[in-house]
Amino acid sequence: MKTLTVFLTTPPYSHENTHSAIQLTRAALDRGWMVNLFASADGVYNFTRGHKAQGLPHAEHEFADLMARGLHVELCGTCLHFRGISAEHAAPGAEPSSMKRLFGLAQNSDVFVTLGA
């Protein structure tokens, strides 16, 4: 099984990167790939609860659906701490992680994509 890892560093509604990550992840899962997503910097906001998005793809719901299909999500623990995001505000199933872990994901991926500003 091939593995895709997406490194997302931008917030959900100020760039098209979130939409691109959702579409890319969906396409890879549809083709039977294992997919990891590591969110860092403001990218961690894609995996917080309580979004009020209207008229555009709703990151919280879209990623929850993809996680139910097998998307594995890790969030930079330092980035969460710097932004004051506690575990109860993070999406269920999105795990706090580290740069060391990101290196391991990248090292074990067939394809590594960075979506950032």
| pLDDT band of 117, cuts 50, 70, 90 | confident
Distance of CA 24 to the CA centre of its chain: 11
The pLDDT, as a whole number, for residue 85 is 94
The pLDDT, as a whole number, for residue 50 is 85
Q: 89-108 pLDDT, tens per residue? A: 999 999 999 999 999 999 99
Number of other CB atoms surrounding residue 25 within 10 Å: 26
Residue range 6-10: average pLDDT? 97
The pLDDT, as a whole number, for residue 44 is 96
> 111-115 and 72-76 as β-strands: parallel, antiparallel, unpaired?
unpaired
Segment (H or E) for 99: helix 99-107
Q: pTM value?
A: 0.94
Enumerate domains of the chain plus CATH numbers: 3-48+61-109 (3.40.1260.10)
- Pairwise CA distance, residues 54 & 76, whole Å: 27
Q: 35-76 pLDDT, tens per residue? A: 999 999 999 999 998 878 776 778 999 999 999 999 999 999
- Pairwise CA distance, residues 8 & 44, whole Å: 8
- Pairwise CA distance, residues 11 & 48, whole Å: 11
Q: 9-38 pLDDT, tens per residue? A: 999 988 899 999 999 999 999 999 999 999
